[in-house]
Amino acid sequence: MFNVLDMGASGLVAQRTRMDVISANILNINTTRNSKGELSPYRRKFVTFAEGLQSDPSKPGVRIGSIKEDQSEFLKKYDPGNPDADPTTGYVLQPNIDLSIEYVNALEASRAYEANVTMMETTKAMINSSLRLIA
């Protein structure tokens, strides 16, 4: 009976992680250098899900399969005055992040999180009703 709550909780953790990754993408939308100061644009990251709970993959639920980097090409922005611009072409390599896609992904993750909360609240109400019938 309580496996349903575990499934809902696993969904909450998965969607929260997804929202964290999306937030990091949005935060780094203009990052053209790495932590060492080297010219290396930020690569968009995305979350993949896998079946099963984190603690026991044989139980029903969802878990983070991996957090991967999007290998699509970096965007190019013509800005010859930028210190990060290529001296011959004047283009600056920008992260491969599309704000509208990140926004839609954030909305989807938020709605999925809300759906998991609703499912858990409904399950709790059903358990409480069952216990009241027994008592």
Torsion of CA 78, 104, 17, 2, to 10 degrees: -170
| Nearest alpha-carbon partner for 73 in 101, 105, 41 | 41
pTM (2 decimals)?
A: 0.88
What Cα–Cα distance (Å) separates residue 128 from each residue in 1, 134, 135? 12, 10, 11
Question: What mean pLDDT is predicted for residues 43-54?
Answer: 94
Q: What is the mean pLDDT of residues 49-59?
A: 89
What's the CA gap between 7 and 100, in Å, rounded? 30
Determine the average pLDDT of the residues in 34-61: 92
Mean pLDDT of the chain: 93
